[in-house]
Structure formats: structure tokens, C-alpha cells
Structure 1
Amino acid sequence: MSKPPIVPETTAAGIALDPRTLERVIPESRRSDGTVRKERKIRPGFTPQEDVRRFRGTRQAQAEANALPKGHIIGWAPPPKAATPAASKAGMSKAQKKNEKRKEKRKEKKDEVEAVKDNWEDEDEEGEGGAGKDKEKGETVASGTTSPKDAGADALADKLDKLEVR
């Protein structure tokens, strides 16, 4: 059996459990004029009016239990916490890790395919000819690729074409 606390908890009426005798008592206290009130024993089973809890029906108790906290906004949910991939992969088997890698690769591939081009006219021109001639040098170049020298110039030209002057 554990020892009772040195400073016992008291009820609303001031009743505490005496640590030496394990009886319910009202501990002695000091009056404002300096005299001491004697400790009073409480009969077993007695509950003073201050300690009687208010009766709650089952429906009332259930409604209070389900009530939203004060200041809660209906429909609002806190944002989800960021997923930690290192922690989640620690508990995975080999097959689960392998499947996770496959999913990531599929997702990356899907993102690349779904990338929207800024200028749809360039796609039509490339699609018609397939492989075309480099205009400045006369070399045949596969569609979508340019020589390293012309890459910077082509990028600048594309940006200038996209600009609209009003």
C-alpha cells in the first residue's frame, strides 16, 4: 500500500483524508483572531451539500461530452502535418520500399508528361517537320535539340517572342 500524500487534497467543503489515521476529517485551521479551530471527524458515508454533484441525465452528459470546445470554428480542421519520408520508410519491408520507389518514378514521369508548354505554336512547327535544318549553319538537327552555341540565343529569342507590347 502506498503512503498517503503529506498535503492531502481537499474537497469543495474542505474535507481531507488524514494521512495518519486514513479517516476523512476537516483539518484544523486558524481563525483571524489567532485562535485554532479543532480538527473535526466526518462520519463515513456523509457527503456535505457543497460536494454533491449536480445530476446530469444520460442525454445531457452525452451532449456535454460531444460539445465543441469554446472558440472552435465548425468545419475547420488543422492542416495536416508534413509527412516524414525517413521515419515512414524505417518501418517498411523491402517490398514496400521497392513499391514506394516505383510510385515515385511513375509520379515523376506523369508530371513530366503533363507539363504544359508556354507557346503552343512552337509544338506545331516542330511536329510537322520532325527533324529540321539548322537555319544558320544548314546542319540537320533532331527536333527539340539545338547546338550548344545556339541554345542561349534560341532561349532569348523565345522569351522575346512571348513578350507582348501593348
Structure 2
Amino acid sequence: MSKPAIIPETTTAGIAVDPRTLDRVIPESRRPDGSVRKQIKIRPGFTPQEDVRRFRGTRQQQAEANALPKGHIIGWTPPPTSSAPKPGAAAASTSQSKAAKKNEKRKEKRKEKREVEKVKDNWEDEDEELPGTGAGDGSHSVDKPNWAAAPETKKSVAVKERAEKVASPTSEESGDEVTEKLEKLTV
């Protein structure tokens, strides 16, 4: 038989097994004033209220035994800790499916496109134009409305004609007529 532990394990109530007699006891301890409490012997079979476990049915015990650790995500496995180098692009492409290869190509193209695009440093500079900005890119402004963006209807044609008249008044029209037309437009 093995020897008992030097510092015996205690229960919640403080009950430990005496290494000499193998009886259950509450070992002696010191009070804050320095005096010593005597060792208390516990009757065989007695369980104090603090040590009474909560009743768990067999199914509850099985569920707790099979439960995942707290914070665990179902289906997640930690990355491998092997020190093997990552496979190169050529090795990875041979083991990938067609769809995965296609997605990787798309991803690379998007990455290249982002690198190529230039962002203006100063938005007040109208001289510089970003690549891809122009007449046919679908952008709108007050000076150049994009009429190709939406299908033309009778109403849009009429609005377009009015805007052209207002933007370039003929020599016959006076300033008063132009202001009247503008007032009609801003309903």
C-alpha cells in the first residue's frame, strides 16, 4: 500500500484523511489570535451539508461527460502545430478542385485591380482623373448627366430638352425668360 500524502486533500468542509490512523478528521489549525484548534474526528459515514453533491440523474451525468469545454466552437479544429513549410502556389493548385482554382484566380485579379486603382490625395484637384473615369463610365454630374444609365421615356426626353435649353439659352431669350423657365423646373 502506498504512503498517504504529506498534505492530505480536503473536502469543501475541510475534512481530510489522517495519514497515521486513516480516519476522517478536520485537522488542527491556528486561530487569528495564535491559539490552536484541536483536531476534530468525523464519524464514519457522516457527510456535512457543504460536501453533499447535487443530485444528477444518469442522463444528466452522461450529458455533462460528453459536453464540450466552455467556449468551444462546434466543428472548429485548432491549426496544426507542425513545422512543415506551407505548400507553394503550384503544389496548392494541383490539389484544389476546379472551382477552388477559379476562385483563387478571381481573388488574385481583384487584388491586382485594387493595387492598380489610385485614390486622389486632394479632392479639390479636378485636373487629375482617376483611371476608369470618363464619359462612358456611368458617372453622373450636373454638367454631364448620364442619360444612358436609364431607358429613355417621354418624360426623361422632355426633361433632357428643358435642361439643354436652360444650360445654353439662345440669343433671342432674355434673362427674364430663363429665370421663368428655371422657376417652372423647380416645382
Structure number with the bigger relative contact order (C-alpha 8 A, sep ≥ 6) is 1
- TM-score class, shorter-chain normalisation, is 0.3 to 0.5
**Higher helix fraction (1 or 2):** 1
**Higher strand fraction (1 or 2):** 1
The structure number with the bigger radius of gyration is 2
Q: What TM-score, normalized by structure 1, do the two folds share?
A: 0.46
